[in-house]
Chain A
Amino acid sequence: SQQGEEDPQALSIQEGENATMNCSYKTSINNLQWYRQNSGRGLVHLILIRSNEREKHSGRLRVTLDTSKKSSSLLITASRAADTASYFCATDYNQGGKLIFGQGTELSVKP
């Protein structure tokens, strides 16, 4: 399977703390995406980072990519209860548009 791995599988923090999730993948990529999924809902695209980028920011989100280690991390700063969701990394492994997803990290932010 080409599915990457994410860790931790679950993360519980207090509001205001930072949350870091990690993703590893298996072969070379052109880009990597992060998605959020609230319970019972579809996935929402958060951010895309290309293989020639090392870091990207969007609001309270910071994504890094280390192609030598085949890994990426998503940092959510100053977390809020509304950030409670599952977070998935995904890449197309240069195989057209279909995405291969990691297993996800379930984040719980307690008020």
Chain B
Amino acid sequence: GAGVSQSPSNKVTEKGKDVELRCDPISGHTALYWYRQSLGQGLEFLIYFQGNSAPDKSGLPSDRFSAERTGGSVSTLTIQRTQQEDSAVYLCASSLRTGVGQPQHFGDGTRLSIL
């Protein structure tokens, strides 16, 4: 497709389980971002893959969160030992180039619910 694709669109899991969220960016886009959106915290930056440079992981809330981007394309965000406070919508975005001032294209997100 032409846009950013995220899967699954919804995920319900039990506290303590691990989850993997997937993002397919727009083809050819160098930069890929993960954000989290929750009622209490609004939109929060998590991690930013900037081409061949080391990712900016400064927004990851704990070491239970990790992400990788394979082959400069698909990215997976993994949350280990999920907690109820991890419930949120996880949004992925991509941009054509890295650096400041780049419009970002968002997927529709994965709605994660931790029981």
Contacts and interface: CB of A to CB of B under 8 A. Distances in A.
Contacts of A61: none
Interface residues of B, number: 27
B25 interface: no
Contacts of B50: 96-97
Contact of B45 (A45, A88, A99, A104): A99
B56 interface: yes
Counting chain A CB atoms within 10 Å of each CB, the highest count among B33, B99, B102, B109 belongs to: B102
Nearest to B98: A97
Contacts of A96: 48, 50, 56, 98-100
Interface of A: 3, 30-31, 33, 35, 40-45, 48, 50, 88, 90, 92, 94, 96-104
Interface of B: 4, 31, 33, 35, 42-43, 45, 48, 50, 56, 58-59, 91, 93, 95, 98-109
13 contacts: A3-B42, A30-B100, A31-B100, A31-B101, A35-B106, A42-B109, A45-B105, A88-B43, A90-B43, A92-B100, A96-B98, A97-B48, A103-B42
Given A92-B101, A99-B35, A101-B42, 20 more contacts: A30-B100, A31-B100, A40-B108, A41-B108, A41-B109, A42-B93, A42-B108, A44-B106, A45-B103, A94-B100, A96-B48, A97-B33, A97-B48, A97-B100, A97-B102, A98-B33, A98-B45, A98-B56, A99-B33, A100-B45
